[in-house]
Amino acid sequence: MNKRFWDQDRQRWNGHAAFNTINHHHISCYSPASGHDDCDLMVVECADGRWYVEDNWGGDAQGAEKVWNPYDPNAGEPHFFGNQADAFAHAVAVVARICGVPESSVSAI
Per-residue pLDDT at 50: 98
59 contact partners, CB below 8 Å, separation of at least 6: 71
| 22 backbone dihedrals φ, ψ, rounded to 5° | -125, -10
| pLDDT surpassing 90 at residue 107 | no
Q: Which residues of 37-67 are buried (b: 16+ CB within 10 A; e: fewer)?
A: eebbbbbbbbeeebbbbbbbeeebbeebebb
Per-residue pLDDT at 58: 80
Q: Which amino acid is at 53?
A: V
| pLDDT surpassing 80 at residue 5 | yes
Per-residue pLDDT at 57: 87
| pLDDT surpassing 90 at residue 109 | no
3-state secondary structure of 78: coil
pLDDT digits (tens, 9 = 90+) for 17-69: 999 999 999 999 999 999 999 999 999 999 999 999 999 888 899 889 999 99
Closest CA to 52 of 60, 43, 64, 61: 43
CB-facing half-sphere around the CA of 107: CA atoms within 13 A: 6
pLDDT digits (tens, 9 = 90+) for 66-90: 999 999 999 999 999 999 999 999 9
